[in-house]
Amino acid sequence: MSIPEGSPRKPNSSKIVRSLALAAVAAAALTGLLSLPAQAQDHWRWGGDIHRFHERDFGRWSGGHWFHGPHDGRPGWWWVVGDFWYFYPAPVYPYPDPFVPPVVSAAPPAASVYYYCNNPPGYYPYVATCPTPWRTVPAQ
């Protein structure tokens, strides 16, 4: 049976499948491209430097958490935001203010004198008790 001229032809099924596959790939690519601006807006650009901190970073900052223990060999309270760790002498609840630096007390001054016991001979704390009065010796 021949198809008269001017009549619509029956479409080839392999062409239909190919067209649908191409349309699906194009739709997926377009969807990916359209989501790029949203991903760029959500990207956190702060990077841990307080000089680059902006109000838009506050949500990330307030979502950090406290860790009590050592980090890089230093024990203490740490406010952890992503990959950035900030030392604090004590936790601040609910979270520290990013615009106010932590108050860290200075280390106690070095001893200016040592305490020496004549009998048994030795310095405190190596000699725990001294039956005679302790003698002060200037630190050197």
pLDDT tens digits, one per residue of 30-73: 555 444 443 333 444 455 566 667 777 788 888 889 999 888 88
Whether the link from the prior residue into 125 is cis, omega within 30° of 0, is yes
Where are the domains positioned within the chain? 107-140
Higher pLDDT, 121 or 60: 121
% of residues, the chain, pLDDT over 70: 57
Residue in this structure with the two tokens 């690519």, named with its chain if needed: 29
pTM attached to this predicted model:
0.40
- The closest of 54, 38, 36 to 46, measured between CA atoms, is 54
Distance from C-alpha of 36 to C-alpha of 94, rounded to nearest angstrom: 33
